[in-house]
Structure 1
Amino acid sequence: MEQFEKDNHKRILAVQHAFGPPGSPLQSPGRILYGEGYLMKQGRKKWEQKVFFLFNDILVYGSILVKGSWYKKQKIVPLEDVKVEDMEDSEKYQHQWLICTPRKSFFVSAFSLDEKKNWMGHINSCKQELLQAGNRQPGSIYAPSWIPDNAAQKCMRCFAIFTATNRRHHCRKCGFVVCNQCSKQKGVINNIHPKKQKRICKKCHQKSRDEVTSDKRGVRVGRNSYEDEEGEESSDDEEMQGDIPSSWLDTQMGTWLLGDV
């Protein structure tokens, strides 16, 4: 067990150093790094390859600068706030599923069906063990997944055609692609950012007003335990899915394998 703890400490420290000074510290008592790998993540404009790390209490992901050694734009999500949903394959991407969190929900794609099953299974297993320990409560509020820009040629509210001047915007509350005229309103979305107003479409704005009128207490406040992600980050890395499988901690002895759940 002592050797396992040393190996685990070394692995976590390597991940922490890979994100450099801008990243948050990852060392924490009792934290175990269970797996890591590269997945395609759907952004606002395109799919991009990202690196993901699964710990026994958090999910960490970021953009790739140098594969295997240098990453940026670290995102940390408490595991109790993560929900995974199976999705059907698309024409371009296979082995997809949806990762839902209170502040951002997005589609990811693995390079094989086994890879997808392992990621979903390990996330669910780690989350279940975390909740059974009794010191965490599962999340209940999740952000909508954004509709990709290229999936909407018209505003999804007024149906005006998008042009070079009539640009696309996203409603932070429903994830729809809307025009500027239909998204001039702003509102506080508690599970995304309780202290900052975000762009929302006219329908969500009216719905929020109706909710406040019917319930003087307003919308319930969600947890805000990880950093906000305003929009989708840009990246020069357009590399498609590779043939490197994710690695998993198979036993407490510290063996890393592509294991089945």
Structure 2
Amino acid sequence: MAEHQIFTNQNRERIRAVASSFGRAGKMLLKPGRILVGEGCLLKMCRRGPKPKVFFLFNDILVYGSVMVPGRWNNKQKIIPLEEVQQEDLEDGMAMANQWLIRMPHKSFYVSASSPEEKRSWMGHIEKCKALQVQTKGLPTDNDSEKFAATWIPDMASAICMRCSKRFSVAIRRHHCRRCGYIVCRACSKSRALLPNISSKPVRVCQHCVSSTEVEQRRKRKKVKHWKKNSVEDSPMQPEFETSSDEELEDENRYQVPTKWFNNQVEKEDYSPYSFIKPEHINPPVNGLNQQLL
């Protein structure tokens, strides 16, 4: 009983410290039953190339953000429910080694670890926590690839539009089709289409994808009309997610630290002793964000 109480108190302190590292813009992370499993710095493929991001794995969510002050201040907090995550192992690429793909309904991206061992550790911990979360909630296991967002091709991968082959310049800018992830020019992506898993508003779609999207939407509208005739309730609102890259204006940061994991198991029944990932999390800095801004 004493070990259980110690575990609970220390875990609460760590989660509060992680939340405080994102400042006032971050969301509350502390909740009953939530356990911080591990943290580390991974490379995330963004529009303008790989950038280091800090990742925190909990037993029910994956949190990541940009590093402002190593070990003390992060921003642009993103929270991913683990039941929405699908992982795909990949071979080493020219831009990133030890990479794999994290897919979600509203966003998908490549990440890379510093070693094959670290990659296997991250993928294994994420998969284990996801399996426990799905089992706890009694959710079905659904691996339908069509329900996940397309992965954006990095800007550096092509100097020409991948639809009309026009060369990009100051006047002809790069854009991304939200359906296929291709790099396209403005002329080839004038259309907008509703992709409910990405946004509640119409988003940019290339001409090649717009035809198939319209056919699919007409089929869905017929189903909705039929459903409304037999129901007095309106369909629930779809959540709105980001529809463009949030890393475009970020400065590249070379902060890199090895991934650390707790010694305890994810299962709630096991409260074996463990060490803090970072010593400073035992006593998180007071008003650290405000001190950095002054």
TM score, norm. by length of structure 1: 0.90
Matched, 1:246 2:252: no
Q: How many angstroms does 1:230 deviate by? A: 2.7
Summarize deviations over 1:130-150 as a string: whole Å, max 9, x none: 111134455652111100111
In terms of fraction of residues, the more strand-rich structure is 1
Name the counterpart of 1:156.
Answer: 162
Q: How many angstroms does 1:93 deviate by? A: 2.0
Summarize deviations over 1:72-93 as a string: whole Å, max 9, x none: 0000011100111111112342
User: Any conservation in 2 of the 1:87–1:96 contact (CA below 8 Å)?
Assistant: yes
Summarize deviations over 1:50-100 as a string: whole Å, max 9, x none: 000000110000000011110000000111001111111123421111111
Name the counterpart of 1:20.
Answer: 23
Aligned AA (1:2): Q
Say which is worse superposed, 228-237 or 9-18, in terms of deviation.
228-237
Q: CA separation in 1, counterparts of 2:140 and 2:27?
A: 23
CA pair 226-77 structure 1, distance change in 2 beyond 3 A: farther
Q: CA separation in 2, counterparts of 1:143 and 1:213?
A: 20
Query: Following superposition of structure 1 onto structure 2, how do residues 1-261 of structure 1 map, counting pairs within 5 Å?
Result: 1-138=4-141, 140=144, 141-194=147-200, 196-215=201-220, 216-217=222-223, 227-228=241-242, 230-233=244-247, 234-239=249-254, 242=256, 244-251=257-264, 252-256=271-275
CA pair 69-136 structure 1, distance change in 2 beyond 3 A: farther
Q: How many angstroms does 1:256 deviate by? A: 4.2
Aligned AA (1:55): F
Aligned AA (1:118): S
User: Any conservation in 1 of the 2:189–2:204 contact (CA below 8 Å)?
Assistant: yes
User: Any conservation in 2 of the 1:250–1:257 contact (CA below 8 Å)?
Assistant: no
In terms of fraction of residues, the more helix-rich structure is 2
Q: Which runs of 5+ in 2 are unaligned?
A: 225-234, 265-270, 278-294
User: Any conservation in 2 of the 1:96–1:110 contact (CA below 8 Å)?
Assistant: yes
Q: CA separation in 1, counterparts of 2:236 and 2:181?
A: 18
Q: How many angstroms does 1:237 deviate by? A: 3.2
Q: How many angstroms does 1:158 deviate by? A: 1.5
Q: How many angstroms does 1:213 deviate by? A: 3.7
Say which is worse superposed, 149-158 or 42-51, in terms of deviation.
149-158
User: Any conservation in 1 of the 2:199–2:239 contact (CA below 8 Å)?
Assistant: no
CA pair 74-41 structure 1, distance change in 2 beyond 3 A: same
Q: CA separation in 2, counterparts of 1:229 and 1:245?
A: 31
Q: Which runs of 5+ in 1 are unaligned?
A: none
Q: How many angstroms does 1:114 deviate by? A: 0.7
Aligned AA (1:152): S
Summarize deviations over 1:20-41 as a string: whole Å, max 9, x none: 1101100111000001000010
User: Any conservation in 2 of the 1:44–1:149 contact (CA below 8 Å)?
Assistant: yes
Aligned AA (2:174): R
**C-alpha RMSD over aligned residues:** 2.2
Q: CA separation in 1, counterparts of 2:260 and 2:68?
A: 20
User: Any conservation in 1 of the 2:168–2:185 contact (CA below 8 Å)?
Assistant: yes
User: Any conservation in 2 of the 1:97–1:108 contact (CA below 8 Å)?
Assistant: yes
